Amino acid sequence: MILRRVIDAIREQSWLTVSVELALVAVGVLIALQADNWNRERGFRELEIQYLERLYDDMQDSLRQQLNYREWNSDQLSAQQVVITALRRGTLLEDERPDFQRGLAYVGDVNAPSRQWGTVEELKSTGNLAIIRDIELRKMLARTDADYLRVRQFLAKKERGIVAIQVELQKHFAPRFKFGFDNLENLSLDYDFDALSSDREFQNLLSHADLSSQTIDGFFAILIERTRALRDRIGVLLGKPPAASAD
């Protein structure tokens, strides 16, 4: 209809009418384009919120799992120190026997850094990372991702070294195990404490395994702090209340 009126106005040389009609067309096009842009922008923002919520849940789940794994690490590293101290001292106190047994049986068995990174991988693979408008968060994600991959390569060598040491150490004691829900309570060892306390090579290998496992756990501690920082940053963007300091 507008086009017909414009053509009729041109024939009648009614240039004012032509100008008004063309202006109305231009304004209509601009409004339509702006509305489309608004709709697209709203869609992007809704998608951003969805991704932020998923990232927050991933960080929460990762942090919960990491803290549980490090609880094992803490107990195991403490038990390994009991083994090293007792052997160097040459005596094993009665109340040290449970930790000595655990430390010896599971020497070097600590959890390596781990994470739940599915949402980040999806953002990377789909090219949607730019949907996250917060530049600082994107930097934190990229830095944590790069550092994690680099550290995992380094720790893989440590883990292989621990396995090789465990093979040698396990030649000096024999486990007696009865399956149960609590494996620690159902495990006992046959070992000659006097022989182990005078075996310098055994103690050196034990110390190397302990050092490597402490290194692994140290990087785990760094990852936990990075995960907590990411969780808190995402929480701020979502307007969530600060999480409890203990988690």
Summarize pLDDT for 130-161 with one digit per residue, the tens.
Answer: 999 999 999 999 999 999 999 999 999 999 99
Is residue 245 in some structural domain?
Answer: no
Is residue 217 in some structural domain?
Answer: yes
Is residue 25 in some structural domain?
Answer: yes
Q: Is the pLDDT of residue 21 over 90?
A: no
| Structural domain total, the chain | 1
φ and ψ of 125, to 5 deg? -70, -30
Q: Is the pLDDT of residue 177 over 70?
A: no
What residues make up the domain containing 189? 2-238
Provide the 8-state DSSP code for 242: P
Q: Is the pLDDT of residue 37 over 60?
A: no
pLDDT tens digits, residue range 105-118?
999 999 999 999 99
φ and ψ of 240, to 5 deg? -85, 150
φ and ψ of 42, to 5 deg? -65, -40
Q: Is the pTM of this model over 0.85?
A: no
Q: Is the pLDDT of residue 2 over 70?
A: no
Is residue 49 in some structural domain?
Answer: yes
Is residue 64 in some structural domain?
Answer: yes
Is residue 97 in some structural domain?
Answer: yes
